[in-house]
Amino acid sequence: MPELPEVEAYRVLAVAALHRPVAGVDAPDAWFLKGGIDAGVVVAALIGRSFTVARRRGKLLLLDSSDDGPVLGLRFGMTGRLVVDGRAGVDRLLYSSDQSLSSWDRFAVQFAGGGDLRVHDSRRLGGVFLDPDEGRLGVDVLTITPAALRSALARSTAPLKARLMDQARMAGVGNLLADETLWRAGLDPHRPAGGLTPAELRRLHKHLRGSVADLIERGGSHSGDLMPARAAGGVCPRDGAALSRTTVGGRTTWWCPKHQR
């Protein structure tokens, strides 16, 4: 599903949509428009403008628009794909159908001279925003510093994994990336987030940044080393121990009870 690695690929793809005047907006699904906006508002805001910069904060894609226009915010939920001029941002999306039905196009911007940018989302868990409140998201984990990570975890009694996925504390970690990071770092996902030693914090920082970078390079959040074993009967790829399956932060969690402590 779209976690930071997928949305980063979408951001790169969205560069192809910059500096092209918007000629039309297609917003057939009112549910998909968030923050009290409707199709008319989006049309009025975007027609005639161009997108100037493609940014990303965590799992939120942000497109600045010209002439002091609004920021278009795109959220992809679990099954959302970005498609620009018919090209998709990622090849495959876990938990999402490989079909592509036009009825799953929830939002589109058409450009003068042809071509378009579309959000395709079978499950409608994503959404479109104008001027989203970027301050509600914590620092992006692709570039998070050791100090910022320490501060985001400090004094928390919440499970470590839940805190990593708290988008207000740090932005971009989803369920698969959380499991991969903690597996690489050798940390039990149930540990109180504020209880890590300085050495463990350093290890977590190294593997958080490393996992994010690796999964971007490999092309998606499903491409982790733990991923193939993340199923019934799975064994730890590192030490062969039977993996445990529990629920942490309301999410299915796979972890190795032997080396994650």
Residues in contact with DNA by CB under 7 A are 1-3, 31, 58-60, 75, 77-78, 95, 97-99, 104, 122-125, 156-159, 162-163, 165, 167, 174-176, 193-194, 249-252
What is the DSSP-derived secondary structure letter of residue 159? B
Find the shortest distance in angstroms from Cβ 78 to DNA. Answer: 5
Find the shortest distance in angstroms from Cβ 248 to DNA. Answer: 8
Distance CA 210, CA 160 (A): 18
- Distance (Å) of CA 6 to CA 29, 91, 217, 219, 253: 23, 10, 10, 7, 20
Distance CA 232, CA 173 (A): 23
Q: Which is nearer to DNA, 20 or 105 (CB)?
A: 105
Find the shortest distance in angstroms from Cβ 253 to DNA. Answer: 8
Q: Is 256 exposed, middle or buried (0-12, 13-18, 19+ CB in 10 A)?
A: buried
Q: Which is nearer to DNA, 123 or 258 (CB)?
A: 123
The number of residues in the chain equals 261
Given a contact cutoff of 8 angstroms between Cβ atoms, the answer to whether 137 and 91 are in contact is: no
- Collapsing DSSP to helix, strand or coil, 65 comes out as strand
Q: Which is nearer to DNA, 20 or 59 (CB)?
A: 59
**157 membership: H or E segment, kind and range:** none
Q: Which is nearer to DNA, 50 or 220 (CB)?
A: 220
Cα dihedral 173→176→180→186 (10° resolution): 80
Find the shortest distance in angstroms from Cβ 47 to DNA. Answer: 26
Find the shortest distance in angstroms from Cβ 64 to DNA. Answer: 19
Given a contact cutoff of 8 angstroms between Cβ atoms, the answer to whether 144 and 170 are in contact is: yes
Q: Which is nearer to DNA, 123 or 150 (CB)?
A: 123
Q: Which is nearer to DNA, 184 or 222 (CB)?
A: 222
Given a contact cutoff of 8 angstroms between Cβ atoms, the answer to whether 16 and 189 are in contact is: no
Q: Which is nearer to DNA, 65 or 122 (CB)?
A: 122
Find the shortest distance in angstroms from Cβ 224 to DNA. Answer: 12
CB atoms within 10 A of CB 30: 9
Find the shortest distance in angstroms from Cβ 121 to DNA. Answer: 9
